[in-house]
Structure 1
Amino acid sequence: MGRTSLYINSVLTPIKHELAATGPEEHSDGMFTVQAAQHALYASFILDPLVFGIFGNAVTSAMSPVMHNAAFKFCGMPHHYRTFQSSSLVDLDAIVRDPNFGGASISAPFKKEIVSHLDYVSPEAQAIGAVNTLIPLRSRKLQSLLDRNRAGPVVALFGDNTDWIGIHTCIKRHLSPINAVRKRTTALVLGAGGMAQAAVYAAIRLDVKTIFVYNRTFENAEKLVDQFNGKFFSAHNIDLVANSSGSCRSGSITPPNQKTGPIAVRALPSIDEPWPAGIDPPTIIVACISRVSENGGPMPKIVLPDSWLASQTGGVVVELAYNPVDTPLLQQVRSLSTRGWIPVDGLQVLPEQGISQFELFTGRKAPEHIMRTEVRKYVEATS
């Protein structure tokens, strides 16, 4: 019946905005801010400080720690996000055994390799064939996924993929109404790696039925085509932002609520060839090509032929590379802005997938503006 019940209460907890909570009397009306309630939960040992991080072989300069730590601080969570640089997936075992392990972002080259080491994989990650988000479970039941922000022995692992969400969000946000997805809409994905897989799946979830893939190595493009071409896809919704306090929470894993297919995916053999006859030029283009080749040298600059950009209504081009932000492809797209083409750089995609990761990690609604702003500020300060 007092203030303690406010932050332990599981539903309709009264709160006030932080701008209305100033001075020593901020709790005099019996109401908390969200941040104060969070501090109380952790100070009362109802929830536990956890360690998160990004795991990969080249993550020392990753922007994820800046983004996630700023989000934790804003939300009043004493969690910490760091980098875990390694050349072997074996090193992940010691990290996972830590009772205070809260989750990890999985980076290259382990997104595919880690799938076989997991107890549960989301339908989206299964369809993509790659995992970029690792969540520890404190019991063998998948339902324990809904009980986060608590320390304890990790007995199982759940994998998900938020890369596709970042791509999907940016396409949907920037695709003009005249280019709304229709039966004849075509998408083009440049590249054939893990991010290209996520990009194809993002286009599928946008209900695009015809997708083309171009990659310098045609055989790799064909492998990506084989993974998706002619397939049907179902999507599940897992309510992962259902629990907020230490109280028992009701979360649900729902049956499939969306089905699409069959999807037509084709590989383009050469960038020098004209766009296939009888098929509308793409209005959705996603570039997933690394800036560094396998031998360590720079990748060739990608500029698309005119026939591939012949859409009468323009479209949206998403460039996933962000170091540097400005690429020859984005420069080309900006020169076509009067024809309706809209460029989207990688710094817009990065926080969108991170926002979904934060919500998977914590079960809390992410402070989206904070995360987007921190990414931009970091780049401006280091460029």
Structure 2
Amino acid sequence: MGEPVPPALSPSTRLAVLLGDPVAHSRSPTIHNAAFRALGLDAVYLACRVASGDLPAAVAGLRALGVFGANVTIPHKETVVSLVDRLTPEAEAIGAVNTIVVETDGTLVGANTDAVGFVQPLVPFERQLRGQPAVILGAGGAARAVAYAILAALQPSRLTIAARQREQAETLLYALAPYDPRGVLHAVALEEAAVPMIREARLLVNATPVGMAPHPEATPWPHATDFHAEQVIYDLVYAPAETRFLRDAVVHGAIPVGGLAMLIGQGAAAFEHWTGQAMPLDAVRLALAGT
């Protein structure tokens, strides 16, 4: 089946958008348009490819065009922090914005719903993960939200940030230091130095775009023999739904968690910011199943 048609348009139709590059793979239009339609809201959600150099103009244009809400995705989540008028406490703590609320007076409020969206699929595994070591692959805007969420929700014994360049991981570590009173954050290069941490981890998260279409056979960690049955392996990539990273997890007995659940969770929180209403999740899941 093809992409569901958006809600019918009218002269009073309100607009919400996704700002990122690339955006062709995004399922967010399916999610939000299904929610608008189910609730009878006269609104439409469009994905807009925005190059990095055009981001300031695109954000300023939200006011001019009467957009009431926006999502922000790779690679703009950190850059957009300086382009909004104020931040929610979560966005300020994380240092990244994935949701913009345009208030009635034109004020742009930067929020971050990635953290709450990340935690929701882990609720069934909370008991086995709480107080255990965890590893995040990547150190960008998504990794910041994931690290913040893990520190707050799971209180790990150690949380290792592994990035291609150790300096990137250290930057994230310093940014989150105020939220790490127990000193459990560690930074390493995404090389052999990360091997012991990954083997010991009970939660391993891919917070990079590696494995995203059109390169579904790529993986952020090719040494799959490090995976084992006592791990939950979580891939934030959701297109494709079954990445090589997750397939490797299944082969070695680990519990796989795909990125679509997080996408729905963060989207539901953004939707509530914009509309004041709960997202109709059954309608959203039905729409996703049909695409």
TM-score, normalising length from structure 1? Answer: 0.65
Q: Which residue matches 1:7?
A: none
Q: Which residue matches 1:161?
A: 112
Q: Is the 8 A contact 1:52 1:103 kept in 2?
A: yes
- Deviations along 1:208-250, whole A, 9 cap, x unmatched? 2420011222221222222224x23xxxxxxxxxxxxxxxxxx
Residue aligned with 2:159, SS: strand
1:301 Cα deviation from its structure 2 partner: 5.1
Q: Which residue matches 2:9?
A: none
Q: CA RMSD in A?
A: 2.8
Aligned amino acid, residue 187 of structure 2: A
- Any stretches of 5+ residues in structure 2 without a counterpart? 1-11
Q: Which residue matches 2:62?
A: 95
Aligned amino acid, residue 162 of structure 1: T
Q: Which residue matches 2:167?
A: 219
Is 1:344 aligned with 2:257? yes
1:326 Cα deviation from its structure 2 partner: 2.1
- Structure 2 CA distance for partners of 1:180 and 1:84, relative to 1, 3 Å: closer
Give 1:262-277 correspondences, 5 Å limit.
Answer: 262-273=182-193, 274-275=195-196
- Deviations along 1:92-132, whole A, 9 cap, x unmatched? 32232223x21111122221111112222011111111101
Aligned amino acid, residue 196 of structure 2: W
1:299 Cα deviation from its structure 2 partner: 5.2
Q: Greater Rg, structure 1 or structure 2?
A: 1
Tell me how many residue pairs correspond in the alignment: 274
Separation of aligned partners in 2, 1:299 and 1:336 = 18
Is 1:377 aligned with 2:290? yes
Is 1:60 aligned with 2:60? no
Give 1:245-264 correspondences, 5 Å limit.
Answer: 261-264=181-184
Q: Is the 8 A contact 1:348 1:372 kept in 2?
A: no
1:305 Cα deviation from its structure 2 partner: 5.9
Is 1:291 aligned with 2:210? yes
- Name segments (4+ residues, structure 1) moved above 4 Å: 298-301
Separation of aligned partners in 2, 1:196 and 1:172 = 19
Q: Is the 8 A contact 2:20 2:49 kept in 1?
A: yes
Is 1:107 aligned with 2:76? no
Give 1:39-78 correspondences, 5 Å limit.
Answer: 49-78=13-42
* Percent of residue pairs bearing the same amino acid type: 27
Q: Is the 8 A contact 2:144 2:172 kept in 1?
A: yes
